[in-house]
Amino acid sequence: MSKQTDDFFKSVVSHAKEYGFVFQSSEIYDGLSAVYDYGQLGSELKNNLKTYWWKSMVQLHENIVGIDAAIFMHPTTWKASGHVDGFNDPMIDNKDSKKRYRADQLIEDKIARYEGDGKTAEAAALLEALNTALNADDLAGLKSIIEEHNIVCPVSGTKNWTEVRQFNLMFATQMGAMADGADQVYLRPETAQGIFVNFLNVQKTGRMKIPFGIAQIGKAFRNEVIARQFIMRMREFEQMEMQFFCRPGTELEWYNKWKETRLKWHLALGFDPANYRYHDHDKLAHYANAAVDIEFNFPFGFKEVEGIHSRTDFDLKQHQEYSKKKMQYFDPEINQNYIPYVIETSIGLDRLFLTVLCNSLVTEDLSTAEKQDSRVVLKFPPALAPVKAAILPLTKKDGLPEKAREILNTLKLDYNVQYDEKDAIGKRYRRQDAIGTPICITVDYDSLEDNTVTIRHRDTMEQERVAIGDLERIVNDLAGWNTLLKKLI
Ligand code: ATP
């Protein structure tokens, strides 16, 4: 099955549910729109993705440290960052279908259709008109574009549109017992500001010298106008962000370095490089002087997974102004005080999770002349696999389970491993294929005599006989963090 189809995407979503990767939140109450829970295998995969990111940022870089800031922040943070006034999406409703859309996305879809039809001049002109309207916050202009280009509602097929309105994406709530406006706080819409407000705390207590970075993994919340495509666009999601502080004037050099480093990080997972690309921003955010997305070819097309932004000194300067606290760094090498410039790398953990699922899920035809057969496999990079090895006694008796548990008890100190004695061995292999376990270790009668076992490899289905004493090394060589991290240095 081609991976660029709705059917493939549906199979990813149903596989994720069937095997305990992702569930709809509060499903027994019919779910909550665009909110998802990670199940027993999903949370393992997610933790492994976080570990991969954290180790590659913090452990492999002498000049990057990590923090864990609170979700709630002083409300002035969001005034200073521009989110209270500017974190809006232009929305529009179709009066017939009662469906709500992002006006800019309706226009982007039209541009893609022009491109698909070979109308490149029309596509370029429309893109320019869109950028002009967005840069000028011209909501009436967006509406005119939608009308002029005969953009219809995908559901009702009509052009019966409301005006375009701005919609702030931040969730607000009350802190403390008083329910008046003074106590209003926000669920953070990005993790970055927790890093900016702690810039000097970390720099001073960690005796950090510029250039240096601060990394963080945490939840972010956005009241997305339209939330769809599974865990692609959620209202509660997780970000992995790193802000890299550098000397003014050097930022574009660092921007290019991080742009390259981050793509290399994605490609080190070993998936097809043709499904990854850069997308340079046409419309720069008010704080940025360069920005690029790393896009992945999802079943619904190339979409952003990670953003790399040169944010200038905008955020620190704003916090200096609003807090009246100096956000400056004294650079002993040039004997000067300055507000550092910042390069941000910001990746959505849930989107990354989806790229890994889409890349890994395959159905293989194993039919022979005699019989029809196929298997569903999650070909995860071994270091990311939720279960690293399954230990399978050939039978449930004669001391084989005890021998298998001995192996389990050694390997479980370092890895998440599973024991399974139910059903025929072939069926157990298939169960492990479907959850992406890189190797199955089968304990048989010979194992009791000569302390060897059979390893069956997920991807090739090949089998080999190895000594039990070698298992720790074999699992480590295949699925250990060092094997993956070595590709980055
Ligand atoms: P988009 O244009 O798709 O809305 P964005 O440009 O607003 O994304 P950023 O603010 O740059 O996104 O956030 C950084 C990363 O956080 C994105 O690259 C994406 O992976 C992730 N992200 C942003 N919004 C969501 C969301 N609603 N659900 C899941 N992940 C998200």
Other CB atoms closer than 10 Å to residue 254's CB: what's the count? 20
**Residues listed for the chain:** 489
pLDDT band at 182 (very low <50, low <70, confident <90, very high): low
Distance CA 209, CA 120 (A): 48
Residue nearest to atom 12 of ligand 1 (CA): 307
Q: How far is the CA of 161 from the centre of ligand 1 (A)?
A: 27
User: What tokens appear for 7 in the block?
Assistant: 């059917």
* Structure confidence at residue 228 (pLDDT): 77
Taking all residues of the chain, what is their mean pLDDT, rounded to a whole number? 95
Distance CA 385, CA 437 (A): 6
- Which amino acid would we find at residue 130? L
Q: Which residues lie across from 330 on neighbouring strands?
A: 337
* Structure confidence at residue 180 (pLDDT): 57
Residues 325-348 pLDDT 10s:
999 999 999 999 999 999 999 999
CATH topology of domain 3-70+184-357: BirA Bifunctional Protein; domain 2 (3.30.930)
Please, where are the H alpha helices in 117-178? 120-135, 139-148
Distance CA 436, CA 381 (A): 9
Distance CA 216, CA 211 (A): 17
Residue nearest to atom 8 of ligand 1 (CA): 304
Sheet containing 417-419: which strands, arranged edge to edge?
417-419, 389-393, 439-443, 452-457, 463-467
- pLDDT surpasses 90 at 1: no
* Structure confidence at residue 179 (pLDDT): 55
Mapped to the 3 state alphabet, what secondary structure does 220-269 carry? EECCCCCCCCHHHCCCEEEEEEEEEEECCCCHHHHHHHHHHHHHHHHHCC
- H/E stretch holding 318: helix 314-323
- CB of 224 shorter than 6 A to ligand 1: yes
- When pLDDT is averaged across residues 132-141 and rounded to a whole number, the result is 89
Residues 311-325 pLDDT 10s:
999 999 999 999 999
Going by C-alpha positions, the residue among 216, 220, 218, 217 that lies closest to residue 171 is: 220
Residue nearest to atom 22 of ligand 1 (CA): 348
Q: How far is the CA of 361 from the centre of ligand 1 (A)?
A: 24
Other CB atoms closer than 10 Å to residue 314's CB: what's the count? 20
pLDDT band at 2 (very low <50, low <70, confident <90, very high): confident
Look at the alpha carbons of 404, 410, 413, 415 in this order and tell me if their dihedral is positive or negative: negative
Residue nearest to atom 31 of ligand 1 (CA): 348
pLDDT band at 414 (very low <50, low <70, confident <90, very high): very high
- CB of 288 shorter than 6 A to ligand 1: no
- CB of 305 shorter than 6 A to ligand 1: yes
What's the chain's Rg over C-alpha atoms?
26
**Cβ distance 45 to 223 under 8 Å?**
no
Residue nearest to atom 11 of ligand 1 (CA): 307
Other CB atoms closer than 10 Å to residue 5's CB: what's the count? 12
Q: Where are the domains of the chain?
A: 3-70+184-357, 88-168, 368-488
- When pLDDT is averaged across residues 97-118 and rounded to a whole number, the result is 92
Q: What is the CATH superfamily name and number for domain 368-488?
A: Anticodon-binding domain (3.40.50.800)
Distance CA 4, CA 16 (A): 18
pLDDT band at 86 (very low <50, low <70, confident <90, very high): confident
- H/E stretch holding 45: helix 40-54
pLDDT band at 73 (very low <50, low <70, confident <90, very high): very high
Q: Choose the residue to mutate in 36, 223, 239, 355 for probing ligand 1, maximizing ligand atoms within 8 Å of C-beta.
A: 239
* Structure confidence at residue 178 (pLDDT): 60
Percent of the chain clearing pLDDT 70 (strictly above):
99
Q: Choose the residue to mutate in 217, 238, 283, 304 for probing ligand 1, maximizing ligand atoms within 8 Å of C-beta.
A: 304
- Whole-model pTM: value is 0.91
Q: Choose the residue to mutate in 346, 353, 356 for probing ligand 1, maximizing ligand atoms within 8 Å of C-beta.
A: 346
CATH 3.30.40.230 holds for 88-168: yes
Instruction: Find out whether the peptide bond into 211 is cis, omega within 30 degrees of 0.
Output: yes
pLDDT band at 137 (very low <50, low <70, confident <90, very high): confident
- pLDDT surpasses 60 at 181: no
Backbone dihedral region for residue 9 (phi beyond 0: left; psi -120 to 50: alpha; all else: beta): alpha
* Structure confidence at residue 267 (pLDDT): 98
- pLDDT surpasses 90 at 286: no
Three-state secondary structure call for residue 213: strand
User: Which atom in ligand 1 lies closest to the alpha carbon of residue 227?
Assistant: 27
Distance CA 279, CA 301 (A): 13
Q: Which residues lie across from 306 on neighbouring strands?
A: 294, 347
Distance CA 271, CA 267 (A): 6
**Cβ distance 374 to 367 under 8 Å?**
yes
The CB-side HSE value for 170 (13 A sphere, CA atoms) comes to 24
User: Which atom in ligand 1 lies closest to the alpha carbon of residue 346?
Assistant: 14
Higher pLDDT, 79 or 135: 79
Chain centroid to Cα 279, Å, comes to: 17
Distance CA 162, CA 143 (A): 9
Residues 7-25 pLDDT 10s:
999 999 999 999 999 999 9
